[in-house]
Amino acid sequence: MGRGKGPRRVSLRDRASYRFDRTLARSTGTLMGWLVITCLAVVVPVSVLLVWTDPGSPRSLSGRLTAAWRTSAETLRLGAMTGTPLRMMLSALLGLVALLCVSTLVGVITNSLAERMAELSRGRSTVLEQGHVVVLGWSDQIGTVVGELVAAQAAHRPRAVVVLAERDKTEMERALGGRIGPTGRTRLICRSGPASDPAVLALVSPGTASTVLVLPAGEPGADAEVLRTLLALRAVIGEGTAGPPVLAAVRDDRYHAAARMAAGSRGTVLETDTVTARLIAQCVGRPGLSLVLRDLLDFAGDEFHLADATAFHGRPFGATLLGHADSCVVGLLTPRGRTLLNPPTDTVVAPGSRLIVLTRDDGTARPADCRHLVDASAKATDRLPGEGAARLLMLGWNRRAPLVVGQLRRTARPGSVLDVVTDRAVPGPREAEAEPGASAEDRLAVRLRSAPLSRPETLLGPDLAPYDGLIVLGPDPGDGPDRPDDWTLVTLLALRLAQERTGGRELRVVSELTDDRNRPLAPVNPGSDVIVSGELTGLLMAQIAQNRHLASVFDELFSADGSSICLRPAGSYVRPGGEATFATVVAAARDRGECAIGYRRADRRTAAPDHGVRLNPHKGERREWSAEDQVVVITTEAAEARETAGAAESAHHAGAPRPDDGDSPH
């Protein structure tokens, strides 16, 4: 039978430590008492030691004790008054009271400053600005939107850009600072909180802003949050016509109508998925279009602006195309606010109209007669080559894929075929839907096939030579890898390897990325396009935020109907191998019912960052045009039909100017 152990012996140190901890836990007064005792236990002996070791100290005991008292009192700030014990006690009492008051005051000030700094760091103070731009929400477009807004305001009166999102203020400032860099004279202000809360929304003073932008987040339910934010704006600003223009974006078209109602009469709502799908469909048959649109949408170069049309009142629209040396005219804004993009050349410019021009800035569109720069003998007489049926291949599937298929059905030439290879075993109901009308099926036949796209043989096995264009769509976030661009980059590598193995012609690939930082990593050839959906939406919103009249311009450019941007062979406008001014190109495009806005050099297709794209060159710029060069034009389906039907008439008038287009002097 074992012997039990006795109680553990507690040391004197442990007992003292326990008693001390228990005493401190009683109250704040006990803690202060211990602090006083500790200070006296250190200060008084040291003061006595200093006095007794000082050769100049008094000789008498009372004198030395008085000196020791003064040293201790001065150290503890208790006062150094001497005399009777009563006077010394009163002096110590005054010192303690003063010490208590000063310490309390310092504590109150410190706590108030700490609370104020914490409030500022949380971003909950009211913004008192006038004419600022308010950005509500946080998404992958935020860096592009804020960066372009800062660039747009660099040449104007400096204003503030205020961002309100449900994120930490310091984190937002650090993220935006790392993305856009120095903001110059533009102030960047961040506030933290839910934008759908009217009380929080009032902190950024939306009623005094020049423009309010509402961004959709990347997670599910983002469109519903945009709708709530728009309703909160109505609650803060009011439902009248007064107030700043509101620009919002939704992903799902089912929220578009409700968002427009919530935004009010001064609101504009973009469908980001629809815009991205339209651009993907357009780029399939127009290699290099994404480069042109990116240059057109950012504020680093030339953009669309509205210019005065007084000098052209009563004259045909064709006269305006050669009426500016440093700007390219592309349309009219009528007195009633209707946008006419690339109207017929005989359209009369009515008083009160404004010109839609591609120019550097608001004040650079100055009228200048450039008709003398046109060399009629350098114009080409050949008609544009016709486009036949196309065979396309789409790899991958996401929520924008049905919209891409719908756009291709509307724009494809009759007899075209689209092969879709997807990981999904059975396409959803929206994927199999066709556009209304039987003509859609006649234009494009869609063939769906399920195959594991993650396996190399799926991408390397089929013969890609018969295809005129390839579309690569990455998975939606949450449906595939954590970073959807990883799958897209792997697919592009496999396509590049398949092309090198076969030694065939250059594949025209249109790929979609979600992060602009992955664009330089995409292994594509110069004839391919990389579309960053978030960047495209951000650039578009920044452009419309500066001028809401441009919303209808871009809506038409990105739609399947009406006018659009195309890259045409330069040999269809000027004689290859010869020199000609850009004014000659503009005149040749005008004769075909188009507006020329730039060109792409074939010898610089691989040269970053512009890849040979030059928009809005001077009308007097003279260069030698090769057959591989391309001209960037704004055209319509009607213009193409007129070009095909009236090629002979165009050749007849190529060398002689038409009076109704403004070539004859007025």
**How do residues 13-24 score in pLDDT, each as one tens digit?**
777 777 777 776
Tens of pLDDT along 337-364?
888 999 999 999 999 999 999 998 877 8
Cis peptide before 609 (omega within 30 of 0): yes
Whether residue 251 has pLDDT greater than 90: no
**Looking at residue 429, what is its pLDDT?**
42
**Looking at residue 547, what is its pLDDT?**
82
Q: pLDDT band for position 463 (50/70/90)?
A: confident
Q: pLDDT band for position 438 (50/70/90)?
A: very low
**Looking at residue 123, what is its pLDDT?**
60
Distance of CA 131 to the CA centre of its chain: 20
Q: Note the helical H segments in 238-339.
A: 256-263, 272-284, 289-297, 317-320
Mean pLDDT on 442-449: 83
Q: Given phi > 0 = left and psi -120 to 50 = alpha, else beta, which region is 131?
A: left
Whether residue 655 has pLDDT greater than 50: no
Per the CB < 8 A criterion, the answer to whether 148 and 180 are in contact is no
Max mean pLDDT range (286-290, 348-352, 545-549, 653-657): 348-352
DSSP state of 566: E
**Looking at residue 589, what is its pLDDT?**
93
Tens of pLDDT along 79-136?
555 556 665 665 666 566 556 666 776 777 787 777 766 666 666 678 888 888 999 9
CA distance 213 to 269: 10
The reported pTM is: 0.73
The residue type found at 63 is G
Tens of pLDDT along 37-59?
776 676 677 667 777 777 777 77
Whether residue 223 has pLDDT greater than 70: yes
Max mean pLDDT range (385-394, 486-495, 513-522, 625-634): 625-634
Distance of CA 236 to the CA centre of its chain: 26
Instruction: Name the residue with tokens 């606010």.
Output: 337
Mean pLDDT on 360-369: 85
The residue type found at 510 is V
Instruction: Name the residue with tokens 């020791």.
Output: 68
3-state secondary structure 339-406: EEECCCCCCECCCCCEEEEEECCHHHCCECCCHHHCCHHHECCCCCCCCCCCEEEEECCCCCHHHHHH
Whether residue 486 has pLDDT greater than 60: yes
**Looking at residue 88, what is its pLDDT?**
62
Per the CB < 8 A criterion, the answer to whether 223 and 250 are in contact is yes
Q: Which two tokens stand for residue 173?
A: 């400032």
Beta bridge mates, 574: 379
**Looking at residue 425, what is its pLDDT?**
56
Instruction: Give 27: exposed, middle or buried? Use CB within 10 Å, 0-12, 13-18, 19+.
Output: exposed
CA distance 422 to 400: 13
Q: Which residues of 512-522 are buried (b: 16+ CB within 10 A; e: fewer)?
A: bbbebebbeeb
Radius of gyration of the chain (CA): 37
Per the CB < 8 A criterion, the answer to whether 599 and 586 are in contact is no
- Tell me how far CA of residue 153 lies from CA of 189, 298, 450, in angstroms: 15, 13, 50
Whether residue 473 has pLDDT greater than 80: yes
Residue with the bigger pLDDT between 493 and 83: it is 493
Max mean pLDDT range (134-148, 315-329, 512-526): 315-329
Percent of the chain predicted with pLDDT > 70: 78
Mean pLDDT on 311-327: 93
**Looking at residue 656, what is its pLDDT?**
41
CA distance 124 to 118: 10
The residue type found at 150 is V
Mean pLDDT on 568-581: 91
Please tell me the number of Cα atoms within 13 Å of 221 on its side-chain side: 2
- Tell me how far CA of residue 133 lies from CA of 53, 199, 567, 593, in angstroms: 73, 19, 35, 39
Closest CA to 196 of 222, 170, 176: 222
The residue type found at 177 is G
Per the CB < 8 A criterion, the answer to whether 332 and 356 are in contact is yes
Residue with the bigger pLDDT between 575 and 116: it is 575
Q: In CATH, what is the architecture of 123-265?
A: 3-Layer(aba) Sandwich (3.40)
Residue with the bigger pLDDT between 25 and 214: it is 214
**What's the mean pLDDT when you consider all of the chain?**
79
The answer to which of 130-139, 151-160, 609-618 has the lowest mean pLDDT is: 151-160
Q: pLDDT band for position 151 (50/70/90)?
A: confident
Mean pLDDT on 506-513: 85
Instruction: Compute φ and ψ for 449, nearest 5 degrees.
Output: -145, 135
Mean pLDDT on 249-278: 88
Per the CB < 8 A criterion, the answer to whether 654 and 588 are in contact is yes
Q: Which two tokens stand for residue 502?
A: 């076969």
Residue with the bigger pLDDT between 506 and 313: it is 313
Closest CA to 485 of 462, 447, 514, 460: 514
Closest CA to 165 of 182, 146, 180: 146
